[in-house]
Amino acid sequence: MNKDLSQLHQYPFEKLAALIKGSQPPQNLEHIALSMGEPQHPAPHFVIDNLIAHMHQLSTYPSTRGKPELREAITTWLSNRFSIKPGLLDPNQHVLPVNGTREGLFAIAQCVLDRQLDDALVFMPNPFYQIYEGAAILAGASPRYLDCLEENQYLPDLDAISDAQWKRCQLIYICSPGNPTGSVMSPPYLRRLIELAQRHDFVIASDECYSEIYFDEDHPPPGLLGVAADMGLHSFSRCLAFHSLSKRSNLPGLRSGFVAGDAEILKNFLNYRTYHGCAMSAPTQTASTAAWGDETHVIENRQRYREKFEQVLALLSDTLAPRKPQAGFYLWASTPIPDIEFARRLYAQQNVTVLPGQYLSRDSGDGNPGVNKVRMALVAPLHQCLEAANRINLLLSTL
Ligand SMILES: Cc1ncc(COP(=O)(O)O)c(C=O)c1O
Residues 6+ apart with CB under 8 A from 189: 155, 158
Q: Measured from the CB, is residue 179 less than 6 Å from ligand 1?
A: yes
Q: Measured from the CB, is residue 183 less than 6 Å from ligand 1?
A: no
Confidence grade of residue 117 (pLDDT, cut at 50, 70, 90): confident
Q: Atom 14 in ligand 1: which residue has the minimum CA distance? A: 37
Burial class (CB in 10 A: 0-12, 13-18, 19+), 263: middle
Q: Measured from the CB, is residue 102 less than 6 Å from ligand 1?
A: yes
Q: Is pLDDT of 115 > 90?
A: no
Alpha-carbon distance of 52 to 180, in angstroms, equals: 34
* Whole-number pLDDT of residue 116: 87
Q: Measured from the CB, is residue 129 less than 6 Å from ligand 1?
A: yes
pTM exceeds cut of 0.95: yes
* Whole-number pLDDT of residue 119: 86
Residues facing residue 375 across a β-bridge: 332, 355
Q: Which residue among 247, 280, 329 has the greatest number of ligand 1 atoms within 8 angstroms of its CB, and so is best to mutate?
A: 247
Q: Which amino acid is at 75?
A: T
Span from the CA of 101 to the centroid of ligand 1 (angstroms): 6
Alpha-carbon distance of 29 to 47, in angstroms, equals: 35
CA dihedral of 191, 192, 193, 195, whole degrees rounded to 10:
90
- Across the range 161-170, mean pLDDT stands at 95
Span from the CA of 385 to the centroid of ligand 1 (angstroms): 21
Cis peptide before 127 (omega within 30 of 0): yes
Note the pLDDT tens digit of each residue in 355-374: 999 999 999 999 999 999 99
Q: How does DSSP assign 341-385, residue by residue? A: HHHHHHHHHH-EE-EEGGGG----SS--TTTTEEEEETTS-HHHH
Q: Which atom of ligand 1 is nearest to the CA of 37?
A: 14
Residues facing residue 169 across a β-bridge: 121
Span from the CA of 108 to the centroid of ligand 1 (angstroms): 15
3-state secondary structure of 146: strand
Q: How does DSSP assign 60-111, residue by residue? A: SPPPSS--HHHHHHHHHHHHHHTTPPTTSS-TTTSEEEESSHHHHHHHHHHH
Q: Which amino acid is at 265?
A: I
Span from the CA of 107 to the centroid of ligand 1 (angstroms): 14
Residues 6+ apart with CB under 8 A from 312: 331, 378, 385, 386, 388, 389
Span from the CA of 174 to the centroid of ligand 1 (angstroms): 12
Residues 200 and 167: beta-carbon distance below 8 Å = yes
Span from the CA of 164 to the centroid of ligand 1 (angstroms): 31
Q: Which atom of ligand 1 is nearest to the CA of 102?
A: 9
Burial readout 174-200 (b: 16 or more C-beta within 10 A, e: otherwise): bbbbbbbbbbbbbeebbbebbebbeeb
Q: Which atom of ligand 1 is nearest to the CA of 38?
A: 14
Alpha-carbon distance of 197 to 268, in angstroms, equals: 19
Please provide the average confidence, as pLDDT, over all residues in the chain.
97
Alpha-carbon distance of 113 to 111, in angstroms, equals: 6
Note the pLDDT tens digit of each residue in 61-80: 999 999 999 999 999 999 99
Q: Which atom of ligand 1 is nearest to the CA of 207?
A: 3
Q: Measured from the CB, is residue 208 less than 6 Å from ligand 1?
A: no
Note the pLDDT tens digit of each residue in 226-278: 999 999 999 999 999 999 999 999 999 999 999 999 999 999 999 999 999 99
- Across the range 368-390, mean pLDDT stands at 97
Q: Which atom of ligand 1 is nearest to the CA of 99?
A: 9
Q: How does DSSP assign 297-333, residue by residue? A: HHHHHHHHHHHHHHHHHHHHTTTT-PPPPSBSSEEEE
Q: Which residue among 102, 175, 250, 256 has the greatest number of ligand 1 atoms within 8 angstroms of its CB, and so is best to mutate?
A: 102
Span from the CA of 247 to the centroid of ligand 1 (angstroms): 8
Q: Atom 5 in ligand 1: which residue has the minimum CA distance? A: 102
Q: Measured from the CB, is residue 246 less than 6 Å from ligand 1?
A: yes
Span from the CA of 166 to the centroid of ligand 1 (angstroms): 26
Residues 32 and 391: beta-carbon distance below 8 Å = yes
Q: Which atom of ligand 1 is nearest to the CA of 103?
A: 9
- Across the range 377-393, mean pLDDT stands at 97
- Across the range 333-354, mean pLDDT stands at 98
Q: Measured from the CB, is residue 370 less than 6 Å from ligand 1?
A: no
Q: Is pLDDT of 306 > 90?
A: yes
3-state SS record for 9-28: CCCHHHHHHHHHCCCCCCCC
Note the pLDDT tens digit of each residue in 5-47: 999 999 999 999 999 999 999 999 999 999 999 999 999 999 9
- Across the range 145-152, mean pLDDT stands at 97
User: Greatest CA separation found in the chain?
Assistant: 60
Q: Measured from the CB, is residue 209 less than 6 Å from ligand 1?
A: yes
Span from the CA of 395 to the centroid of ligand 1 (angstroms): 30
- Across the range 279-290, mean pLDDT stands at 98
Q: Atom 2 in ligand 1: which residue has the minimum CA distance? A: 129
Q: Which amino acid is at 361?
A: S
Strands of 169-270, DSSP E: 169-175, 203-207, 239-244, 257-261
